[in-house]
Amino acid sequence: MTPPITPSMTSLEDLAAACAGCDRCGLAAGRNRVVVSRGNPSARLMLIGEGPGQQEDETGRPFVGRAGQLLDRILASVDLDSDRDVYICNMVKCRPPENRRPTPAEMAACRPWLDAQIALVDPPLIVLAGATAVEGVLGIRGGISRLRGQWQPLDGRWCLPVFHPSYLLRNPSRQEGSPKWLTWQDMQDVKRRLQQLEEPTP
């Protein structure tokens, strides 16, 4: 039986242990590993993706396949280190079969774990990678091309929708106006906001 999510869950270690025994939805039956997070729990930036793929399911770490390697390069391009400067997780913690998009019911079942992560990490800025993360976190449906680059409020935080790295792998052009070029603009904006947070208050 899945342990309850309670206010007594005061650490990410407790959360990870509880996630390991989760059976709130059918994804639990097909997983090899629960994929909770990687990166720095003290980071001021959180990145939320859709769900684990095959390599993530095998390693227990999010964004370690080709899309994750591209994500690391994107972050590095604005002088952000994925181990030091970002806490990385997904909307759902178990791999959907054939890497399909998680269903609304699966996202709803996993949402309390994500809410606990957000509360425990307490990041002022969140990057939402892809339309699924935007829908799951903000409840906003629509094409990511329309939503990307527009900061959205969430309980005193700011969220920025961006293209998912897997989409960028399918659209490799770097010409002005391309998804990769737009993502570069978005991540520069993220970097600026982080720098503003670090500036001393007059």
pLDDT in tens, 100-132: 999 999 999 999 999 999 999 999 999 999 999
Beta strands in 55-137 (DSSP E): 87-90, 125-129
- Mean pLDDT in the chain? 93
CA distance 63 to 61: 7
Q: Is the pLDDT score of 186 beyond 50?
A: yes
Q: Which CATH superfamily is domain 12-193 in?
A: Uracil-DNA glycosylase-like domain (3.40.470.10)
Residues in Cβ contact with 142 at an 8 Å cutoff, skipping those fewer than 6 apart: 131
Residues in Cβ contact with 174 at an 8 Å cutoff, skipping those fewer than 6 apart: 180, 181
pLDDT in tens, 124-183: 999 999 999 999 999 999 889 999 999 999 999 999 999 999 999 999 999 999 999 999
Strands 87-90 and 152-154: unpaired
Predicted pLDDT of residue 142: 83
Under DSSP, the state recorded for 91 is: S
CA distance 95 to 49: 12
Q: Is the pLDDT score of 1 beyond 70?
A: no
Rg (CA), the chain: 16
Conformation bin of residue 139: beta by default, left when phi > 0, alpha when psi is -120 to 50: left
Domain boundaries, the chain: 12-193
Higher pLDDT, 60 or 199: 60
Predicted pLDDT of residue 111: 94
Average pLDDT over residues 23-39: 96
Query: In the structure, what pLDDT confidence band is assigned to residue 7 with cuts at 50, 70 and 90?
Result: very low
What pTM was computed for the model?
A: 0.94
Under DSSP, the state recorded for 98 is: G
